[in-house]
Amino acid sequence: MIAFAAKALLAGVMIAAIAEVGRRLPAAAALIASLPLVSILGMIFLWQARPDAENMAAHSQATFWYVLPSLPMFLVIPVMLRAGWPFWPSLAIGCALTVALYLAMVQFGPRLGLRL
């Protein structure tokens, strides 16, 4: 339970740090947020729980393929905001697009030979 709380606290600190940096330096916060820190920490924690090279390789490869459906969201949101859309609907549409693309990846990825 303590390990779980420490992981949650670390994730919260990362998010808070990005938000604070973003108030003054949006590009720097974007750079920090784009770093695969969560993925790296997740791999470290997974390795500690189950040090299996094949499991880690499968996890890392699946992470790559699951990142791709999230990328269009980061193009749709700024386009909508610059077109005058309010923030919350822009965010909601970006998230809905991401969910739809994740579902498509889950549905069609294995048919294309992707190991997810």
Residue by residue, pLDDT tens for the chain (116 residues) are 888 898 889 889 999 999 999 999 999 999 999 989 889 989 999 999 999 999 999 999 999 999 999 999 999 999 999 999 999 999 999 999 999 999 999 999 999 999 88
Q: Give the span between the Cα atoms of 49 and 66, in whole angstroms.
A: 22
pLDDT on residue 27: 93
pTM of the shown model: 0.81
Instruction: Check: CB of residue 47 under 8 Å from CB of residue 60.
Output: no
- The owner of tokens 């990825």 is 109
- The owner of tokens 């779980």 is 4
Q: What is the DSSP-derived secondary structure letter of residue 76?
A: H
Q: Give the span between the Cα atoms of 78 and 80, in whole angstroms.
A: 5
Give the angle subtended at the CA of 48 by the CAs of 42 and 54, to the nearest 5°: 80
